[in-house]
Amino acid sequence: MDDYQYDCPSADIDMLAHVICDLFPEQTQFAERKDDEGRTSLVIHYVAMRFGSNARRITIDVRFDPAALARYRALPQRMHARSYAVLRAYVEATLGSLEEMYADGRTVPREVDIEMGEDFA
C-alpha cells in the first residue's frame, strides 16, 4: 500500500510525483494544478516534523515552464531519466535550504516555489 496521496490526472505528472515521493514523509499529498495562465504545477503538501517542536505544514509548488514541459512530454519515456534527476536535485536543494534556514534560527516559510525551467527538459 502506498502511504502517499496522489491527485495527478496526467500520467507524466503522476510519475514525477512518484520520482520524488521518497524525499518526503508518509501522508504527503501530491497534486497537479494549472494556474490562470495554464501553467502546470506539481503541488506538494507535507508536514515537516524537523523544524521545531511543532509539526509544520509546508507547501512546495513546483512550476513547470510550459516550453520545457512540452519538450519533456515530447521525449520518449526512455529519455525521461535526466528530467527526473533535475527535478530531484531541485527538490533536494530546496529541502536542504529549508533545513539551513531552521538551523540558522530563521523562520521556515510555509509556502515555497520551485521554478522548473529550461534545464528540466
Secondary structure (DSSP) of 15-38: HHHHHHGGGS-TT-EEEEEE-TT-
Average pLDDT over residues 101-110: 92
Q: Is the pLDDT of residue 1 over 70?
A: no
**What's the pTM?**
0.92
Confidence of residue 45 (pLDDT cuts 50, 70, 90): very high
pLDDT confidence of residue 60: 98
Residue pair 111/121 in contact by the 8 Å Cβ criterion: no
Element (H or E) spanning 86, and its range?
helix 81-103
The CA–CA distances, whole Å, from 25 to 7, 53, 109 equal 17, 16, 18
* Tens digits of residue pLDDT in 81-102: 999 999 999 999 999 999 999 9
Q: Is the pLDDT of residue 8 over 80?
A: yes
pLDDT confidence of residue 2: 65
Element (H or E) spanning 101, and its range?
helix 81-103
Strand-pair category, 40-48 with 56-64: antiparallel
Judge residue 18's burial from the number of C-beta atoms within 10 Å of its C-beta, 0-12 exposed, 13-18 middle, 19 or more buried: middle
Residue pair 44/98 in contact by the 8 Å Cβ criterion: no
Residue pair 62/87 in contact by the 8 Å Cβ criterion: yes
What is the percentage of the chain residues whose pLDDT exceeds 90? 83
